[in-house]
């Protein structure tokens, strides 16, 4: 746990989860995470912006005791997910006078998830203000970054914006303030796995932030951004339509045929000046894969057939890519089968949310032949040609 005064009236309480390695039983956390709350004191009222995960009750309540918080008027909930809202019921018991401040949609979700009674809420709308005495909290509804009820809280007198998940990073660290040169990869991993599916809305909320007078961005995971320009600039780049001269190849092979096809494609692309990032699905860190597809112009999914459908790892990769919806421009599929296959149709169904152009598939019966090698070389040539047409590969 880190307690750090961001200013005379704002204190960060950063509860570290050093050992957590998986989020939602899905997202790898190689460096753990933190659950950040922010205490905002006015001359008349005190508010806590966001809470923490239920497993960290002792740490959060201990921090509030250390800060001599004997009365808490408000608990602001920017987002109803359990890692931020899970300790709100415990706080309401500890501070019986406290009201939960949130929007109507979040209020309903908090009632459904944690059975918080109606009388404990103070509902607000977009643009509403809560006066703490010399310090105000102004609320901005920001749906779908990354749940439908998400909102931001701005303290204009402190020029501090509390963004909950937005602009955060899964990182357990004693470092309170982000060092731009060191936080980039973890911030990108976080964006890729959580924010990328909502890229159009990310752009909209970035525009709103840039229109405010914000000096500090205080997310609920990872370090605080004392210079918002770095993280805002990165998000602007990642959420833009710009792609790089990169091909990401998630692949799996059973008896070597698809493996040989992947190796042929990798070599053929390199010969043509295209950067390649292959990920063997049995051993790949899925967070690294998600990061790689943020900027890639092309994805080629390579998987063999099991019975008549794609290898389950191929199905999983297709489902993941379809859910993340990267801005990639081209998608292709390669692989082999024994006696029959519906792999292409099944993977295409999962990849449907990707609005990228489809490349000609190379899916062959049996081991790759000379004809297969030529088809792979042709595919590499087609990818290089399309990258040149995008202006990301020199002629």
Q: Model confidence over 226-250: pLDDT tens digits?
A: 999 999 999 999 999 999 999 999 9
- Partnered with residue 362 across adjacent β-strands are 334
Kindly state the helix (H) or strand (E) to which residue 300 belongs, with its residue range: strand 296-302
Contacts (Cβ under 8 Å, ≥6 apart) of 285 = 28, 30
What does the pLDDT read at residue 83?
Answer: 97
Instruction: List where CATH 3.40.50.360 sits in the chain.
Output: 244-384
Fold of 2-239: Metallo-beta-lactamase; Chain A (3.60.15)
Q: Could you tell me the pLDDT band of residue 335, with boundaries at 50, 70 and 90?
A: very high
Could you name the CATH architecture of 244-384? 3-Layer(aba) Sandwich (3.40)
Contacts (Cβ under 8 Å, ≥6 apart) of 108 = 149
Instruction: List where CATH 3.60.15.10 sits in the chain.
Output: 2-239
What is the Cβ-side half-sphere exposure of residue 7, based on CA atoms within 13 angstroms? 20
What does the pLDDT read at residue 182?
Answer: 83
Burial (CB < 10 A; 0-12, 13-18, 19+), residue 17, is buried
Helices and strands of the chain, counted as H and E runs:
12, 22
| Rounded-to-10 torsion of CA 305, 323, 190, 155 | -170
Q: Could you tell me the pLDDT band of residue 393, with boundaries at 50, 70 and 90?
A: very high
Per cent of the chain over pLDDT 70 is 100
DSSP assignment of 111-152 equals HHHH---GGGEEEE-TT-EEE-SS-EEEEEE-TTSSSTT-EE
What sections of 53-198 are H helices per DSSP?
Answer: 57-66, 82-85, 88-94, 104-114, 180-190
Region 92-118 average pLDDT? 97
- Partnered with residue 103 across adjacent β-strands are 124
**At residue 348, what are phi and psi to the nearest 5 degrees?**
-60, -35
What does the pLDDT read at residue 241?
Answer: 97
What does the pLDDT read at residue 27?
Answer: 87
What tokens does 53 get?
A: 């995960």
Q: Model confidence over 342-361: pLDDT tens digits?
A: 999 999 999 999 999 999 99
Q: What is the pTM of this model?
A: 0.95
């Amino acid at each position: 746990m880190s307690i750090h005064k961001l200013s005379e009236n704002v204190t960060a309480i950063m509860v570290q989860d050093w050992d957590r390695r998986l989020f939602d039983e899905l997202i790898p956390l190689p460096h753990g995470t933190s659950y950040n709350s922010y205490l905002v004191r006015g001359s008349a009222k005190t508010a806590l912006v966001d809470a923490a995960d239920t497993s960290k009750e002792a740490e959060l309540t201990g921090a509030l005791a250390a800060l001599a918080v004997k009365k808490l008027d408000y608990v602001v909930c920017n987002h109803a997910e359990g890692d931020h809202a899970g300790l709100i019921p415990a706080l309401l018991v500890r501070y019986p006078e406290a009201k939960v401040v949130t929007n109507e949609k979040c209020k309903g979700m908090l009632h459904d998830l944690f059975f918080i009674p109606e009388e404990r809420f103070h509902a607000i709308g977009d643009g509403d203000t809560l006066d703490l005495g010399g310090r105000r909290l102004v609320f901005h509804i920001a749906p779908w970054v990354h749940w439908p009820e998400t909102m931001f809280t701005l303290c204009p007198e402190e020029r501090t914006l509390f963004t909950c998940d937005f602009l955060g990073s899964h990182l357990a660290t004693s470092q309170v303030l982000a060092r731009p040169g060191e936080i980039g990869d973890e911030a990108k991993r976080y964006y890729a796995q959580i924010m990328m599916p909502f890229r159009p809305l990310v752009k909209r909320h970035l525009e709103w932030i840039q229109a405010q007078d914000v000096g500090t961005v205080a997310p609920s995971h990872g370090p605080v951004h004392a210079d918002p320009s770095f993280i805002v600039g990165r998000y602007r780049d990642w959420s833009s339509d710009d792609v790089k001269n990169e091909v990401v190849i998630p692949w799996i092979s059973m008896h070597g045929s698809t493996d040989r096809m992947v190796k042929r494609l990798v070599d053929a692309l390199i010969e043509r000046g295209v950067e390649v990032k292959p990920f063997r699905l049995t051993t790949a860190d899925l967070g690294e894969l998600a990061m790689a597809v943020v900027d890639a112009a092309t994805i080629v999914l390579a998987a063999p057939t099991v019975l008549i459908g794609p290898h389950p790892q191929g199905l999983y990769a297709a489902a993941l890519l379809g859910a993340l919806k990267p801005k990639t421009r081209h998608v292709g599929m390669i692989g082999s089968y024994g006696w029959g296959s519906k792999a292409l149709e099944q993977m295409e169904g999962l990849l449907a949310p990707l609005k990228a152009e489809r490349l000609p598939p190379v899916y062959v019966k049996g081991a790759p032949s000379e004809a297969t090698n030529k088809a792979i070389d042709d595919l590499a040539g087609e990818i290089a040609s399309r990258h040149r047409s995008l202006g990301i590969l020199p002629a």
